[in-house]
Structure 1
Amino acid sequence: MGLVAEFEIHCEALPLVEVAEAAPAAAIEVEIQFNHGNRPPFIVHVTHDSPDAVERALESSSFVATYTVLGQAGETRRYQVIPAVGIVEQLGDHVDLSGLRALATTDSSIDRIRATPTGWIQTGWFADRDAFHEFRRFWQKNAGFTLRRLGRVGEPEEPGDGLTDPQREALRTAYEMGHYRIPRAASLEAVADELEISPSSLSERLRRAQTHLIETTVASIWPPLPE
């Protein structure tokens, strides 16, 4: 039976990391259209209460040639990003290119990529432990690698798996204090005081936690077009 793994790749040269660094409150999900030549387009889903910071970052990114807004659902915008350089050229000064090309032949499939200010968080399926170890060894040698979750394909995930401890604490405290009740019983400021952090930090922490929970439950079902 195959393996499914969630892990962090710590490499600031990865595409769109500089965009995530410029807009740290945004959740940035990436799909790569590999069947489009040496510079495959990226489909980028950005969840943020204001798109201005993200679009300024896209405009100033050395990786981005052009971008187009494809649509919006709630606070999530979908962009098509046309790269100015290919992925190999982008990473050429930072990783072993022969090893990078070899990864394409491993028995694996990456089905989720999130850009962060320090690299990518990925979820992938691997045919066996050897395929996973080959992938892990490459990134340990060339950048940095942190395993977040590893299990057999088909095993159920534990509830809330993938949340950080601060995110889980923020969600639990906000819920227990009544922040999510209708009408709301506790303001963002009151919950932040309880946690002894700033309201802006709490807002970002809750947004990241909520985004993760949505991504792992309903975000894959894009809203249907209107009749």
Structure 2
Amino acid sequence: MADLSYSMPKVRMKVEASGSLAELSKAHPDATFRILTSLSTDAGHMTLVEIEELDPERAANFLEGDSDVLTHEVLHTDDRKAVIQFLQESEPAAGRAGQESNNPPPYPLVLRDGWILAESITTHDRLTAFREQLEAVGVKYELLSVTQSQDPTELLTERQREFVTEALERGYYDTPRRCSLTDVADALGVNKATASGILHRAEGAIMKEFMEGPSME
């Protein structure tokens, strides 16, 4: 049986943002910003953001009027959203704190009204290091929840994984099903009741893990 004692915390938190995008989100608190990626280049720090509920031209004009923004480009627009890429001289403080503590940002990040909302699975030591880095540079943050998230390789026992794998491969979970519970049981050399019990416990563990920690959006 697999060792079920090892787990890592699933962390949901909000972190105060800074820079051009943070100010834009404060100016338009009803808009939703999704930071798709953000990385440092030889030319500066590049950010790719998807914006909903905000006129793309208004967003572009805001960035154009910000002295911290070196360049910007509207890559896509439609009736619902816009995708904008812009370049700054340096990475915002919260991003640097994540890099320094070995906590790479779990993109996409949701930004609303000046706060970044994020959910990730990390270690206790890395979480502590991230908090210390944020405090060191004066960035405000709030832990919304910290729950134990089972390592996927430890979530099921070896026998449960064997039965779930067999059921998946044979199409037991397909719609419509391509095999019956009896077929799975026969393939693994057990009776139908035993197969049902093992799969039921495995399905329960998977569902509990999936439902724990709702989305932050």
- TM-score past 0.5 threshold: yes
List structure 1 runs of 4+ shifted beyond 6 angstroms. none
- Structure 2: which 5+ runs fail to align? 1-6, 153-208
Letter in 2 for 1:79: I
Asked if the contact 1:14–1:119 (Cα under 8 Å) also holds between the matched residues in 2, the reply is no
Q: Based on CA coordinates, which of the two structures has the bigger radius of gyration?
A: 2
Match of 2:103 in 1: 108
Distance across 2 between alignment mates of 1:124 and 1:46: 22
Query: C-alpha offsets along residues 168-221 of structure 1, whole Å, 9 cap, x if unaligned?
Result: xxxxxxxxxxxxxxxxxxxxxxxxxxxxxxxxxxxxxxxxxxxx3xxxxxxxxx
Secondary structure, counterpart of 1:110 in structure 2:
coil
* Contact 1:20–1:26, Cα closer than 8 Å, also in 2: yes
Aligned match for 2:140, one of 144, 149, 166: 144
Root-mean-square deviation (CA), in Å?
Answer: 2.9
Q: Structure 2 CA distance, aligned partners of 1:101 and 1:161? A: 25
**TM-score (norm. length: structure 2):** 0.57
State the 1:55 CA deviation: 2.4
Would the aligned equivalents of 2:35 and 2:110 in 1 still touch at CA under 8 Å? yes
Partner of 1:201: none
Other-structure match for 1:208: none
Aligned equivalent of 1:39: 44
> Who is 2:127 aligned against?
132
What is the rounded CA distance, in whole Å, between the counterparts of 1:31 and 1:161 in structure 2?
A: 17
Q: Taking structure 1 as reference, are residues 38 and 119 closer, same or farther at Cα in structure 2, changes over 3 Å only?
A: farther
Moved more, 17-26 or 60-69: 60-69
Which residue matches 1:179?
none
Q: Where do 5+ consecutive residues of structure 1 fail to align? A: 163-211, 213-227
Query: Could you say which residue in structure 2 is the equivalent of 1:215?
Result: none
CA distance 1:62–1:30, shift in 2 (3 Å) = farther
Question: Please, which of 2, 5, 11 is the counterpart of residue 5 of structure 1?
Answer: 11
The within-5 A match list for 1:54-93 is 54-83=59-88, 85-87=89-91, 91=93
What is the CA distance between 1:49 and its match in structure 2?
Answer: 5.2
Paired residues in the alignment total 151
Partner of 2:53: 48
Measure how far apart 1:109 and its partner are. 2.9
TM-score normalised to the size of structure 1? Answer: 0.55
Distance in 2 between residues matched to 1:5 and 1:15, nearest whole Å: 26
* 114-123 or 70-79, larger mean C-alpha shift: 114-123
Q: Distance in 1 between matches of 2:48 and 2:29?
A: 19
> What percent identity do the matched residue pairs reach?
15
Deviation at 1:86, TM superposition (A): 0.9
